[in-house]
């Protein structure tokens, strides 16, 4: 099968198309013909080797972390899927691989795709949808009437998280550039801070939750808008001990993660706040719930651009620019 692979870690190393063996599904796995895959900043991070100590993938590595497609074959213990089913998923944590014609994935990671969406639209959802779900619902337990801050509202995670937070009944503030102010209001944002003309920490206050996906000092500044007892979650680091434990890392790496996050945890504690790093996990069960919200019209996918399979390197370069409104999707079949 055709796939886009990275053969050496490093930001300057290009990904290339190669012939790879078709994966053989295990007893609890499903073989899927991929119709579309989305491109995420995580793909660039994996190519650069930023997770090589934590997620020891074997090289050459097929990139790609979520997809939509059709079931070809199922393992002997699989009960929820059959050949011909239209499905979508975030790839299993221990293997990427959606920039390819086929993929084998655990049954527990897979869900039937939203019926109202095309393959390309469905492929845009799993990684950002699960990230928003696990941040807002699993960790923050956002409730009606609370105030939440979601950074980078025009990005993939931000555009989904705004809609989910509004569904939960929260008042939503977000940050974006001047050109996207009206656009994120259309997604449901109640308060929009134009980061080019305003410092969000000077205009916001008394918030119950903040979701950060940006680097630099944004996370530390976010602490200033939260009220005592509130939670700040970051997708861009620093990682913490709980993250290392969830990955089953050894005691030394758990200590390293704890030290990396010591500074922000100390600053959060000084303000009577909580801090957590989120590295999203696959969940077919949660994707099924997300599909129901999508089919009900509560949440809509946001696709910025569609690239043909052979232009996957161009799609990755476009995502790395950080200017996409919503998601970038590759049409594979």
Q: Are residues 8 and 112 in the same domain?
A: yes
Reported pTM = 0.96
Structural domain count of the chain: 2
Q: Are residues 117 and 132 in the same domain?
A: no
Q: Report the 10 Å Cβ neighbour count for 189.
A: 26
Query: Is the confidence at residue 136, as pLDDT, over 80?
Result: yes
Reduce the DSSP state of residue 284 to 3 states and report it: helix
Q: In what order do the strands lie in the sheet with 16-19?
A: 16-19, 2-6, 61-62
Q: How far are the Cα atoms of 65, 160, 262, 286, 306 from residue 282, in angstroms, in the given order? A: 10, 17, 27, 9, 24
> Look-up: residue for tokens 């609890």?
28
Given a contact cutoff of 8 angstroms between Cβ atoms, the answer to whether 194 and 151 are in contact is no
Q: Are residues 138 and 180 in the same domain?
A: yes
Given a contact cutoff of 8 angstroms between Cβ atoms, the answer to whether 277 and 240 are in contact is yes
**pLDDT at residue number 273:** 98
Task: Give first-to-last CA distance, the chain, whole Å.
Answer: 12
Residue 193 belongs to a domain: yes
Query: Is the confidence at residue 56, as pLDDT, over 80?
Result: no
Q: Are residues 182 and 316 in the same domain?
A: no
Given a contact cutoff of 8 angstroms between Cβ atoms, the answer to whether 144 and 166 are in contact is no
Tens digits of residue pLDDT in 191-245:
999 999 999 999 999 999 999 999 999 999 999 999 999 999 999 988 888 888 8
Q: How confident is the model at residue 314 (pLDDT cuts 50, 70, 90)?
A: very high
Tens digits of residue pLDDT in 147-192:
999 999 999 999 999 999 999 999 999 999 999 999 999 999 999 9
Please list the residues that pair with 329 across neighbouring strands: 38, 306
Given a contact cutoff of 8 angstroms between Cβ atoms, the answer to whether 174 and 151 are in contact is yes
Q: How far are the Cα atoms of 31, 44, 49, 60, 322 from residue 8, in angstroms, in the given order? A: 27, 13, 9, 7, 23
Q: Are residues 9 and 118 in the same domain?
A: yes
Helix and strand element counts for the chain (H, E):
12, 16
CATH of residue 136? 3.40.50.720
Residue 284 belongs to a domain: no
Tens digits of residue pLDDT in 240-285:
888 888 878 888 888 988 998 999 999 999 999 999 999 899 999 9
Q: Are residues 269 and 246 in the same domain?
A: yes
Apex 130 CA angle, 70 and 242, nearest 5: 130
Q: Are residues 139 and 266 in the same domain?
A: yes
Residue 313 belongs to a domain: yes
Residue 34 belongs to a domain: yes
Q: Are residues 316 and 217 in the same domain?
A: no
Residue 238: closest CA among 217, 210, 252, 224: 217
**pLDDT at residue number 58:** 87
Q: Are residues 268 and 318 in the same domain?
A: no
Reduce the DSSP state of residue 129 to 3 states and report it: helix
Q: Are residues 135 and 260 in the same domain?
A: yes
| Backbone torsions φ then ψ of 113, nearest 5 degrees | -70, 155
Reduce the DSSP state of residue 164 to 3 states and report it: helix
Please list the residues that pair with 104 across neighbouring strands: 31
Q: Are residues 247 and 310 in the same domain?
A: no
Residue 142: closest CA among 273, 230, 225: 230
For residue 311, give its domain range: 2-125+301-331
Q: In what order do the strands lie in the sheet with 274-277?
A: 191-194, 171-176, 147-150, 207-212, 226-234, 274-277
């Amino acid at each position: 099968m055709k796939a886009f692979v990275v053969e050496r870690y490093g930001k300057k190393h290009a990904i290339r198309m190669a012939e790879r063996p078709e994966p053989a599904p295990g007893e609890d796995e499903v073989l899927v013909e991929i119709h579309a895959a989305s491109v995420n900043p995580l793909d660039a991070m994996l190519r650069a080797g930023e997770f090589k100590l934590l997620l020891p993938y074997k090289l050459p590595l097929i990139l790609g972390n979520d997809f939509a497609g059709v079931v070809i074959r199922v393992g002997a213990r699989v009960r929820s899927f059959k050949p011909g089913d239209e499905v979508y998923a975030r790839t299993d944590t221990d293997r990427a691989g959606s920039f390819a014609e086929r993929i084998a994935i655990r049954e527990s990671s897979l869900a039937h795709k939203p019926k109202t969406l095309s393959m390309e639209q469905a492929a845009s959802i799993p990684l950002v949808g699960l990230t928003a779900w696990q941040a807002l619902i699993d960790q923050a337990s956002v409730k009606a009437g609370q105030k939440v801050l979601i950074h980078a509202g025009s990005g993939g995670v931000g555009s989904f998280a705004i809609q989910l937070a509004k569904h939960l009944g929260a008042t939503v503030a977000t940050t974006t550039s001047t050109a996207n102010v009206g656009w994120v209001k259309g997604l449901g944002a109640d308060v929009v801070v134009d980061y080019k003309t305003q410092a969000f920490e000077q205009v916001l206050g008394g918030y119950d939750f903040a979701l950060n996906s940006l680097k630099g000092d944004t996370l530390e500044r976010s602490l200033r808008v939260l009220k005592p007892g509130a939670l700040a979650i970051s997708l861009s680091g620093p990682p913490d001990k709980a993250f290392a434990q969830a990955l089953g890392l050894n005691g030394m790496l758990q200590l390293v993660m704890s030290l990396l996050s010591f500074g922000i945890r100390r600053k959060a504690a000084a303000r009577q706040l909580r801090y957590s790093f989120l590295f999203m996990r696959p969940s077919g069960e949660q994707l099924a719930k997300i599909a129901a919200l999508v089919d009900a019209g509560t949440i809509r996918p946001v696709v910025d651009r569609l690239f043909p399979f052979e232009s996957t390197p161009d799609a990755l370069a476009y995502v790395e620019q950080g200017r996409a409104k919503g998601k970038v999707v590759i049409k594979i079949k």
